[in-house]
Amino acid sequence: MSGTASLHPMLVPMFETVLQRNAGEPEFQQAVLEVFQSLGPIAERRKEYTDWSIIKRICEPERQIIFRVPWVDDKGEVHINRGFRVEFNSALGPYKGGLRFHPSVNLSIIKFLGFEQVFKNALTGMPIGGGKGGSDFDPKGRSDNEIMRFCQSFMTELYRHLGEYTDVPAGDIGVGGREIGYLFGQYKRITNRYEAGVITGKGLTWGGSQARKEATGYGVVFFAEEMLRRVNDSFDGKRVVVSGSGNVAIYAVQKATQLGAHVVAVSDSSGFVVDEDGIDVDLLVDVKEVRRERLTEYSAQRPHTIYTEVGDNSSIWNVPCDIALPCATQNELGEEHARELVANGVKLVAEGANMPTTPAAVHLFQDAGVLYAPGKASNAGGVATSALEMQQNASRDTWDFETTEDRLREIMIGIHDECVLTAEEFNVDGDYVAGANLAGFMRVATAMSALGVI
């Protein structure tokens, strides 16, 4: 795999073992390599972590669960999907991380997401370990009843692995408030216990937290705001492009707009829409969240907009902007896209999605002096607010929107500052990738070494 040349010599054999043990899992290998590329200074200065084989142990999930999910569609036909839960690391707290329902889901994708989640959760400073799960089920075009039956079947196996102190899932691609409701309902039915803290992203009237729905998108913008503040700049008047039009993208658009930015484009897997008057967030919420329609419908309601289908030569990243926020999916922003963005004068890229920027594109941004934030730092607001939801559930309390949003903003500022200070400590000033990986790794590694070889 390319990129191994940049590894510290002590890490090369460890990475070769990762490649061999996880053959055919390119996304997982990519995520591990990205972290390893930052760990050189640790191998030099913090021998205790290598002595305890922490780097080796951290790459191996504590537990991986794969199960059959049978369900019956509205016509009576039986379908079989595959369910996953990878419980990656519980050194800092119960496994915590979302569930993804998308046809592309496989073990490699769930493992890369779980691995990222370990360091992301550590960066929040909250007592949560890392895990991730999901299924290759495709919710697109399915009726509410079909979604409910699928969720019930999925939870009928998963429930035995969950618990407030064991493993606490949430949403991700294809899993929003509706799915969390069906999943929690089935958990409650099977266990006969109203354990609100067993899943997050719940509705506001049944144990959910204010600002959880908005948290990932708002958190990305709060993080980017701090990056801009550090160079005496702000969102005010900036031209912004946001990929995706799901949960993360919608609320990134909303917060950037509230901070005075001009958001001109959003996308889905079929195409992208350019709205030079600024994306109308209320319409976007209505089309995507309420009516569950495509972006073509948004464009139809705003005749001055231009909708373009994605193709070889057309991508949302061709739209000129000052700030790019990739908020759709992994590896959606490649080297050619990065080149185009840089040529068009992009100043900052902050990831809302997990690993949306390919390694070549990341290096291109960093070499061009573009401020770049990796998702494990900049999109941590979602899981941080999930932990706030768990806190409210545990104390049987509910906080108002402003209180919760203020806590979220404080957490994002804290993560930002920790990335900056850690990068300075290891002489890689301004490198948010190294700062995030080193800070997250050290927090997990310190706990792992205290807990012994387990």
Residues that bind ligand NDP (CB under 6 A): 171-174, 176, 216, 244-249, 268-270, 327-329, 332, 352-354, 379, 382
Residue nearest to ligand NDP (CB): 246
Q: Considering the complex, what minimum distance in angstroms separates the CB of residue 93 from ligand NDP? A: 17
Contact present, 184 and 151 (Cβ < 8 Å): no
Between 329 and 357, CB nearer to ligand NDP = 329
Distance CA 136, CA 80 (A): 10
Q: Considering the complex, what minimum distance in angstroms separates the CB of residue 41 from ligand NDP? A: 27
Kindly report the CA angle at 104 between 100 and 107, in degrees rounded to 5? Answer: 75
Token representation of residue 251: 């609320």
Q: Considering the complex, what minimum distance in angstroms separates the CB of residue 379 from ligand NDP? A: 4
Q: How many CB atoms lie within 10 A of CB 303?
A: 6
Contacts for 76-80 with beta carbons within 8 Å, 24 or more apart? Answer: none
Between 49 and 317, CB nearer to ligand NDP = 317
Between 90 and 386, CB nearer to ligand NDP = 386
Q: How many CB atoms lie within 10 A of CB 309?
A: 9
Token representation of residue 131: 């895990």
Between 213 and 262, CB nearer to ligand NDP = 213
Q: Considering the complex, what minimum distance in angstroms separates the CB of residue 295 from ligand NDP? A: 8
Q: What share of the chain is helix, strand, coil (3-state, %, to 5)?
A: 50, 15, 35
CA dihedral sign, ordered 111, 112, 114, 118: positive
Between 152 and 216, CB nearer to ligand NDP = 216
Kindly report the CA angle at 6 between 344 and 118, in degrees rounded to 5? Answer: 85
Distance CA 68, CA 82 (A): 5
Which residues have a catalytic role annotated?
132
Between 141 and 303, CB nearer to ligand NDP = 141
Q: Considering the complex, what minimum distance in angstroms separates the CB of residue 117 from ligand NDP? A: 9
Token representation of residue 330: 């992994």
Render 180-199 in DSSP notation, one character per residue: HHHHHHHHHHHHT---GGGS
Query: SS3 for 59?
Result: coil
> Cα(first)–Cα(last) distance of the chain, in Å?
30
Q: How many CB atoms lie within 10 A of CB 188?
A: 18
Q: Considering the complex, what minimum distance in angstroms separates the CB of residue 104 from ligand NDP? A: 6
